[in-house]
């Protein structure tokens, strides 16, 4: 029996918003979930640009880097390359039932809506949809074009949760970290994971 809670797939695509994904990974690790991490080539550039995280293109090395960054236990984080078709997330018989793409580029939204499955991120999302699992996309794009909106509507009608990176301000955030935590808290809510990251509307401190 695994020492971790049921695995969750977390994918980083090339949209701006790397701090959201990194914070979500950090919190999931702290809550003892196993996390399968998928990172697109563009996402590596964004992680470096926005968070000064220079991830190796090697799966094992990237796993070590993220594990150290998030203080994960051995085996808790597993990074899979975009062409690793033998990874658990590529098959309906082994893939986690929950997946989050955070941040999610408009290009990834489009590919997932079309069922393209040209890389592991797209295939993993396709698997979650076909297996009637839970898929959450966190797009970070503005404004949305009619093409973006049509793709998101199509996915929403299939049961995918579309959660744009649009933090609220009613909790009177004092830092960027507060805004990031707001979005991560909403993602955790939809994953049915208990947390205390952000104050809820109508409640005190």
Q: What is the pLDDT of residues 73-115, one digit of tens each?
A: 999 999 999 999 999 999 999 999 999 999 999 999 999 999 9
Q: How confident is the model at residue 199 (pLDDT cuts 50, 70, 90)?
A: confident
26-67 tens-digit pLDDT: 999 999 999 999 999 999 999 999 999 999 999 999 999 999
How does residue 203 score in pLDDT terms, banded at 50, 70 and 90?
low
Quote the pLDDT of residue 205.
Answer: 53
* pLDDT score of 142: 94
Cα–Cα nearest to 184, from 120, 93, 103, 121: 103
Q: Residue 204 — pLDDT band, cuts 50, 70, 90?
A: low
Contact 118, 144 (CB under 8 A): no
78 Ramachandran zone, left/alpha/beta (phi>0; psi -120 to 50): beta
What is the rounded CA–CA span in Å between residue 78 and residue 25?
A: 11
Residue 108: closest CA among 82, 86, 85? 82
Tell the residue number behind the tokens 């984080």, with chain if given.
Answer: 77
Q: Which CATH class is domain 5-165?
A: alpha beta
Nearest to 84 by CA among 116, 109, 121: 121
Query: Residue 117: pLDDT band by 50, 70, 90 thresholds?
Result: very high
**Residue 149: pLDDT over 60:** yes
Q: What is the mean pLDDT of residues 7-34?
A: 98
Cα–Cα distance for residue pair 59/147, rounded to 1 Å: 34
Q: Are 67 and 40 in contact (CB under 8 A)?
A: no
Residue 138's H or E segment, with its range, is strand 134-139
Per the prediction, the chain carries an average pLDDT of 95
CB atoms within 10 A of CB 82: 17
Does the pLDDT at position 137 exceed 70?
yes
* Res. 171 pLDDT band, cuts 50 70 90: confident
Which of 168, 128, 154, 116 lies closest to 10 in space, CA to CA? 128
């Amino acid at each position: 029996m695994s020492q971790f809670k049921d695995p969750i797939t977390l994918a980083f695509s090339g949209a701006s918003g790397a701090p959201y994904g990194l914070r979500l990974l950090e919190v999931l690790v702290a809550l003892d979930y196993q996390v399968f991490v998928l990172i697109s080539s563009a996402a590596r550039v964004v992680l470096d640009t926005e968070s000064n995280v220079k991830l190796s293109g090697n799966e094992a090395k990237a796993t070590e880097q993220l594990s150290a960054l998030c203080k994960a236990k051995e085996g808790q984080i597993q990074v899979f390359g975009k062409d690793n078709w033998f990874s658990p997330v590529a098959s309906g018989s082994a893939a986690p039932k929950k997946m989050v793409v955070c941040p999610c580029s408009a290009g990834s939204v489009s590919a997932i809506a079309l069922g393209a499955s040209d890389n592991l991120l797209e295939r993993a999302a396709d698997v979650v949809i076909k297996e009637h699992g839970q898929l959450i996309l966190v797009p970070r794009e503005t404004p949305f074009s009619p093409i973006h909106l049509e793709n998101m509507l199509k996915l929403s009608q299939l049961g995918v949760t579309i959660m744009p990176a649009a933090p609220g301000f009613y909790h009177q955030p004092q830092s960027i970290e507060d805004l990031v935590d707001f979005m991560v808290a909403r993602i955790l809510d939809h994953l049915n994971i208990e947390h205390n990251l952000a104050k809820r509307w109508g409640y005190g401190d």
